[in-house]
Structure 1
């Protein structure tokens, strides 16, 4: 059954029919139901349920797209990634067309540079199916190849219509959630914070929940420093957020998160709340489900970080074999990324 946490109005995907991912084959049949259905089943003593399903079991192929600079130190790789896929419900223009597009533009603009450190761009496949693409990639590397990656930058949802400027909390200064990132993550956070401070823009700390493609990189045994940007998904914008960023309190940062209305066209015709989007358009420039200011600002921040580390990673401390920053990629939240 779906997990049913959060407000059903602002996080309906936590209550809807569960389209789960098992990850690997299991020995018993498994189906998903909505939170309400599961709750009703659990509250009925002695209940016997008969299910009829039509299923397809097949092997599907997906791809990661990886490109790297021709020049630069191969033993000191700066890596940046964004996932290409969306959930089956819709186009995913914010999740994650925004991150993928911003990263692609940075790569195109850097095409003629000759960085000191090799720069590797990745667009991940099957993130929404439990980080399949990035996990496969990291697990396919030898320990030596993993050690050559100096840091990883992740950009998943950087243009949420009711945005925040979220910077991954490398040093766990917010003391919330999963704890700090591996050694060096605090320095990545500081670089992003300096970028926003220089523009007089506030930020929020974003927790390393493991719900995006940085997860395999910061997992125990790998310990690659990571950082990145996140404008918010199903989390609810607070009054304090509104004081910082504007927008509408009491609703999600992305009201179309994992829904058909996460599109570039006809957002309200595809299920978006017309009154809410009219309110947001009164404050922001939106193109479909994309906040133009958030996308433009974050694209500049992405470019700043990538080009900075392309030429100088001296701020990132060296990793040691004794470093431990235990992390787990999602276990109980496999469908909601």
Structure 2
């Protein structure tokens, strides 16, 4: 989060990268399959954490961070892209410039579904320069990646077209996601029926916050947490400060999850969720201690499953 300021793919054939970057339709695409009644899978925490371990290793080998314009960012993007390519996604890298350095977005489309009805899920992949950024935002990036891989493992064939994204230069002011949205035509923006954002979903002293920007998306996440018997609160700390903002400004319905950053957890919130009162949700926010030890496994596991619940439910 920025500072306050397969086989089915082979059958589908080659798809132009321009589709991914412009939000366009697949010319001559096969009719959309019948809606799947399959329930969302459990997302393995071990898989999500394995991605976090890789992101930490990448940061450690590249000056301690994965920041925009630095080698650690491109290595992170290459890692995610390789996983998606092997799983049958059609991927494309979108390039932009920010602060005199080249930045990259990674867009991954799952073959099939109605490309006039696109459901997107995304997260920012960059860290700040002061640390590895494992909660901010390795957590969201890893959980979205593992959800995308679960789509492939399940051979999921939703009614809507699924698109996943990893944004660059979020920490410089939502640069990558804004570049993507601004380079969509009005018609292609209108095809995006929802964008789900996941930024900091494994905070070590976590809260369970749900975006309230779109009623249907908000209800989806609240229903998931109600099923767990875990209370939620409306997210306010990150309003306008993460990659859902450019989509919302363009009229796309948005939603997402968050476990808290630098704000202090109250006694009332401890009564709801446990943890430590009077301490920040993430004491290592934007600092060098945001490493693999800066993750609450329960929060990361719950939120990863919530992503899958929403992706399956909103795309069926």
TM-score normalised by length of structure 2: 0.67
Tell me how far 1:235 sits from its aligned partner: 0.8
Given the alignment of the two structures, is residue 230 of structure 1 paired with residue 258 of structure 2, yes or no?
yes
Give the match for residue 224 of structure 2: 195
Partner deviation per Cα, 1:222-263 (whole Å, 9 max, x = no partner): 211110000000011000100001111111100100000001
SS in structure 2 opposite 1:96? Answer: helix
Give the match for residue 305 of structure 1: 310
CA distance in 1 between partners of 2:206 and 2:219 (Å): 21
1:216 to 234, 246, 264: 246
RMSD of aligned residue pairs (Cα, Å): 1.8
Partner deviation per Cα, 1:184-220 (whole Å, 9 max, x = no partner): x01110110010001111111102620000010011x
Number of residue pairs matched? 219
Give the match for residue 277 of structure 2: 249
Change (3 A) 1:58 1:187: closer
SS in structure 2 opposite 1:61? Answer: strand
Give the match for residue 138 of structure 1: 181
SS in structure 2 opposite 1:64? Answer: strand
Change (3 A) 1:187 1:58: closer
Given the alignment of the two structures, is residue 158 of structure 1 paired with residue 201 of structure 2, yes or no?
yes
Q: Larger helix proportion, structure 1 or 2?
A: 2
Gaps of 5+ in 1: 5-56, 170-180, 265-287, 312-337
Tell me how far 1:309 sits from its aligned partner: 1.4
SS in structure 2 opposite 1:120? Answer: strand
Partner deviation per Cα, 1:2-27 (whole Å, 9 max, x = no partner): x99xxxxxxxxxxxxxxxxxxxxxxx
CA distance in 1 between partners of 2:156 and 2:299 (Å): 26
SS in structure 2 opposite 1:71? Answer: coil
1:293 to 290, 293, 298: 298
CA distance in 2 between partners of 1:156 and 1:121 (Å): 14
Matches within 5 A, 1:1-337: 59-111=100-152, 112-169=155-212, 181=213, 185-207=214-236, 209-219=239-249, 222-264=250-292, 288-311=293-316
SS in structure 2 opposite 1:144? Answer: helix
Partner deviation per Cα, 1:296-325 (whole Å, 9 max, x = no partner): 0000000000011121xxxxxxxxxxxxxx
CA distance in 2 between partners of 1:290 and 1:144 (Å): 40
| Structure with larger Rg | 1
CA distance in 1 between partners of 2:157 and 2:99 (Å): 44
Partner deviation per Cα, 1:69-121 (whole Å, 9 max, x = no partner): 11000110001100000000000000000000000000001012122110000
SS in structure 2 opposite 1:62? Answer: strand
User: Structure 1 runs of 4+ off > 4 angstroms?
Assistant: none
Tell me how far 1:59 sits from its aligned partner: 2.1
